A and B are shown apart, each in its own frame.
Chain A
């Protein structure tokens, strides 16, 4: 039903301090789009997601639809629902293709 779920084989963590720093910066209108706030480990590789990517990842608990996830982001960030929905769909499709998310 299109509620993405994190692949349980992936070890991951949120870099809380960095996430807080980036959120604070975005609040002042600074654009920090290449800072990694969530780290994933899979088969000997380490991957980092930027802030919005990390927030999407954290919401992929198999309970929320793409629309739900986009709606949460639209509440907190200055973005149109339609834009964030298409970004979420694209990002989730990419991660599903990589096997990091399971899209049920």
Chain B
């Protein structure tokens, strides 16, 4: 079994 981590958005950035 693998350790569970909570789902989340870890980063957002401008493409340009």
Interface residues of A (CB under 8 A from B): 23, 26-27, 29-36, 41, 44-53, 55-56, 73, 76-79, 84, 87-88, 91, 94
Task: Tell me whether B14 and A44 are in contact (CB under 8 A).
Answer: yes
**Interface residues on chain B, size class:** 10 to 19
CA distance A30 to B3 in the complex (A): 7
Interface residues of B (CB under 8 A from A): 1-16
Closest to B16 in A: A44
Task: Tell me whether B15 and A53 are in contact (CB under 8 A).
Answer: no
Tell which of A27, A36, A78, A87 touches B7, judged by Cβ atoms closer than 8 Å.
A87
Interface of chain A, helix or strand or loop or mixed?
Answer: mixed
User: How far is the CB of A57 from the nearest CB of chain B, in Å?
Assistant: 9
Task: Tell me whether B10 and A48 are in contact (CB under 8 A).
Answer: yes
User: How far is the CB of B15 from the nearest CB of chain A, in Å?
Assistant: 5
